[in-house]
Amino acid sequence: MEEVFGTFWRDVLGDDDDDDDDDDDECVRIKRPAREGDADRRAVLDPRVNHPEINKRSFVGVVRGEDGDGTVDVLYRTREGKATSARVRADDAHEGFLGKVLESWTATVGAEEEEEERTTGAEEGNGTARRRRRGASELSTSAERTIKTAIKMNGKSDIVTVEQMETLREALPAMYRMREWTLAYSTKRDGISLKSLYRRASGKANTVLLVSDSGGAIFGAFCTEAWKVHSRYGGTGESFVFTLAPEGVKYAWSGANDYYMLGAADSLSVGGGSAHAIRLEEDLLQGSSGECETFQSPPLASENMFRTARIELWSLE
């Protein structure tokens, strides 16, 4: 279950504020605020009172409460740019932008819980013995579920079928599902070069990385910041990793750490901890995949140390 819901709300939630049009659209790294002392005794916001300080400009994300009382923490920035949060009940009927946020968050979480119950129940019914992990959910196939609106594609994949891409689209957070897929980088089209991947990924904040290896495995990641060389990890809790072959499984952020994605001069990595979920070396010919705490995911490739067959990076625009 993805516990953070946020970023790029301008695309899906309108707002009546007269904000400037030149807002910075970078994703924000979301962390659960420290909950010590008075933080645990914060009052729940009254739904009868308007809260104009929480708007499309200041909003960061929503974090599920840990007390099981139906409360969530809405993360936002003050006018001075300081990170803060407010506690609300998810089912309270707030007005304005906050109400739209809570309505969308509740709908998304409810759909994910329903899907998780459905897939878990199906596994128990047919005796499937595969070990379940927190945040893991089976990706449906096109035969199981039909998406009425055809996926918009600018380019053709040499790794996955259109049906598999539709499966991936359904696994995305709701706000990204209707976006057009544009092939930003392909080893077949653009050559085998990490520098070329970074160059062609410049400014593309929401991407799907696809990798096929020599053993026939197909896997990848959804990331929410542009790939570039940087000294720290980036991204948000909306990120996830997945496999499409030999089976389709999505692994959402576990909350164990915030090592979502890291672009280095000599490698590209998704997830972290004792091992990366995906690590591609500078030559893009080889990589590694291990037990990753960020997504509580098992090795995604056919082997822990694998040789790549093809790599693609798709931008959601």
SS (H, E, C) 14-72: CCCCCCCCCCCCCCCCCCCCCCCHHHHHCCECCCCCCCCCCCCCCEEEEEECCCCCCEE
Looking at the fold, whether 147 and 99 belong to one and the same domain comes out as no
Same domain, 177 and 271: yes
CB half-sphere exposure, 291, CA atoms < 13 A? 2
CA–CA–CA angle 168, 172, 175 (5° rounding): 140
| Token output for 85 | 């949060």
Whether 185 is covered by a domain: the verdict is yes
- Tell me, what's the pLDDT at 13? 47
Has residue 119 been placed in a domain? Answer: no
Residues 21 and 155 in one domain: no
The b-or-e profile of 192-214 (16+ CB within 10 A means b, else e) is eebeebbebbeebbbbbbbbbbe
* Domain final position from 63, 87, 103: 103
Q: Do 89 and 139 sit in the same domain of this protein? A: no
Residue 262 within a domain? yes
State pTM to two decimals.
0.61
* Residue 197 and residue 309 share a domain: yes
Distance CA(69)–CA(109), nearest Å, equals: 15
Same domain, 301 and 250: yes
Q: Are residues 200 and 251 in the same domain?
A: yes
Confirm whether 108 is domain-assigned: no
Residue 207 lies in a domain: yes
Instruction: Record the tokens describing residue 298, joined without a space.
Output: 């098992």
One domain for residues 153 and 94? no
Compute φ and ψ for 243, nearest 5 degrees. -125, 145
One digit per residue, the tens of pLDDT, for the chain of length 317 reads 333 444 434 444 444 444 444 444 333 333 334 444 444 456 888 888 888 888 877 887 777 765 667 788 888 888 887 778 888 888 888 888 888 888 877 777 666 666 556 655 555 554 444 444 556 878 755 444 444 457 889 999 999 999 999 999 999 998 899 999 999 999 999 999 999 999 999 999 999 999 999 999 999 999 999 999 999 999 999 999 999 999 999 999 999 999 999 999 999 999 999 999 999 999 999 999 999 999 999 999 999 999 999 999 999 99
Q: Is the same domain home to 152 and 255?
A: yes
Residue showing tokens 């005796």: 127
**CB of 273 closer than 8 Å to CB of 293:** yes
Q: In terms of domains, do 64 and 166 share one?
A: no
pLDDT value at residue 124: 55
Cβ atoms of 169 and 152 within 8 Å: the answer is no
Q: Is 310 left (phi over 0), alpha (psi -120 to 50) or beta?
A: beta
**Residue 109: inside a domain:** no
The answer to whether the beta carbons of residues 77 and 60 sit under 8 Å apart is yes
pLDDT for residue 198: 97
* pLDDT value of position 166: 92
DSSP type of residue 190: H
Tokens (6 digits) for 177: 């599902």
Tell me, yes or no, whether 263 and 310 share the same domain. Answer: yes
Instruction: Show the domain range for 148.
Output: 135-316
Residue 112 is assigned to a structural domain of this protein: no
Residues 157 and 288 occupy one common structural domain: yes
Specify the 3-state DSSP secondary structure of 126.
Answer: helix
Of 58, 88, 103, which marks where a domain is finished?
103
- What pLDDT sits at residue 191? 94
Q: Residue 149's pLDDT is what?
A: 57
User: Cα torsion for 124, 125, 128, 134, to the nearest 10°?
Assistant: -30
Number of structural domains the chain divides into: 2
Q: Is there a domain that residue 128 lies in?
A: no
